[in-house]
Amino acid sequence: MREIDITRGIIENHVEELMQSLKSDVVIVGAGPSGLVAGGFLAEMGINVTILEKKLAPGGGIWGGGMGYKYVIIQDEAKSVLDDYEIPSKPFENNLHAVDALALASGLIFGAAKRGAKIFNLVVVEDLLVREGRVNGVVINNTFAMMNHFPVDPITMEAKAVVDATGHDHDIVRTFSNKNDVSLNTPNGKPLGERSMFAEPAEDAVVTNTTEVYPGLYVCGMSTAAVYGGYRMGPIFGGMLLSGRKLADMLVEVCGNR
Ligand code: 48H
């Protein structure tokens, strides 16, 4: 056993996967529940999908459950996504199910990876590539470089579609709107901002507002609330799972047509 072989095994495999991601069909920014579900279903349908996550651990806002109590709730409509990913849940009441947040996070991460989504952690998307009025890629950097404010220039990945799955921050749409004189597909052309908690309409709106917000740029999960002025919903996650699944169905069509 030689250390240099271990090192080569790591570098060669990482670079091979990175090269496959340089021209993806879909790049999803953010490995929270909506991004992981979208990525898993897209990969299962044969789409070359890359998920970029700035933190060490994918999973986004799942891990902490509700205020650190480790269960989250999902509604009946989203149970089939749990079943597809073989994530256990317990029936609760009023068509609700309780899910161990740790099982949900790890199950969605493994489910997406197992289906062939390429997930890179410690990668920040700091900007977009835009050509002729269409988003066609992402500008990426290393999380440690960004955290330390090192003057390290970014590199790029091309994609037919880019997804903002960055949660409450809607980091990608916000940056894109701030930096460019562009009009988004919203009532005033700008992100509308998230509203206070009101779970039921919030859950419906997350799915309804899973859409193309600018040519080539899509939103899913909690970033839809920030972009389209939706309510927040607290630790109920069905809307996130259904938003990811809706996005996957939309993007399969888009990738086939481009
Ligand atoms: C790379 C990035 C960048 C970047 C951010 O917040 P998330 O879990 O996202 P969703 O929308 O799938 O799920 C939302 C849910 O977790 C939640 O917060 C709910 C239901 N809240 C309700 C309420 O009322 O509070 O994950 C987003 C991920 C995170 O892991 C970020 O680290 C990552 O995106 N991310 N990755 N480049 N620029 N910005």
Give a yes or no: residue 122 inside a domain. yes
Q: State pLDDT tens for residues 126-152.
A: 999 999 999 999 999 999 999 999 999
For residue 220, the ligand 1 atom closest to its alpha carbon is 11
- CA–centroid distance, residue 7 to ligand 1 (Å): 32
Q: For residue range 4-62, what is the model confidence (pLDDT) as tens digits?
A: 999 999 999 999 999 999 999 999 999 999 999 999 999 999 999 999 999 999 999 99
Nearest 5°: CA angle at 12, between 138 and 15?
A: 5
pLDDT for 103 beyond 80: yes
Q: Supply the pLDDT for residue 128.
A: 98
Strands lying side by side in the sheet with 90-91? 71-75, 96-100, 90-91
Does 222 map to a domain?
yes
Say what the pLDDT of residue 117 is.
Answer: 98
The total of structural domains in the chain comes to 1
- Percent of the chain topping pLDDT 90: 98
What is the pLDDT at residue 120?
A: 98
45 lies in which domain range? 25-55+115-257
Rounded mean pLDDT, 241-252 = 98
* 98 is a domain residue: no
CA–CA separation, 99 and 180 (whole Å): 41
CATH number for 186: 3.50.50.60
- The residues facing 50 across adjacent strands are 27, 118
- What span, in angstroms and rounded, lies between the C-alpha atoms of 48 and 10? 22
pTM above 0.95, yes or no: yes
47 inside domain: yes
pLDDT at 216: 98
Ligand 1: centre distance to CA 59 (Å): 8
Q: Which residues are paired to 21 by β-bridges? A: none
Tell me if 191 CB under 6 Å of ligand 1: no
232 lines ligand 1 (CB under 6 A): yes
Q: Which residue is closest in CA terms to ligand 1's atom 5?
A: 166
Examine residue 82 and state whether it is found in any structural domain, yes or no.
no
- 99 within a domain of the structure (yes/no): no
Model confidence at 256: pLDDT above 80: no
Q: Taking CA 140 as the corner, what is the angle to CA 120 and CA 20, rounded to the nearest 5 degrees?
A: 50
Whether the CB of 137 sits within 6 Å of ligand 1? no
Is residue 198 domain-resident? yes
Task: List the alpha helices (DSSP H) in the chain.
Answer: 3-21, 33-44, 79-84, 101-115, 143-147, 171-179, 199-208, 223-228, 238-257
Note the pLDDT tens digit of each residue in 180-222: 999 999 999 999 999 999 999 999 999 999 999 999 999 999 9
Distance in angstroms (rounded) separating the CA atoms of residues 121 and 192: 29
- For the segment 159-178, the average pLDDT, to the nearest whole number, is 98
Beta carbons within 10 angstroms of residue 207's beta carbon? 21
The answer to whether position 8 is within a domain reads no
Which of the four pLDDT bands, split at 50, 70 and 90, describes residue 257?
low
Q: Find the mean pLDDT for residues 251-256.
A: 89
Q: Could you tell me the distance, in angstroms and rounded to a whole number, from the CA of residue 166 to the centre of ligand 1?
A: 4
| Residue 258, pLDDT above cutoff 90 | no
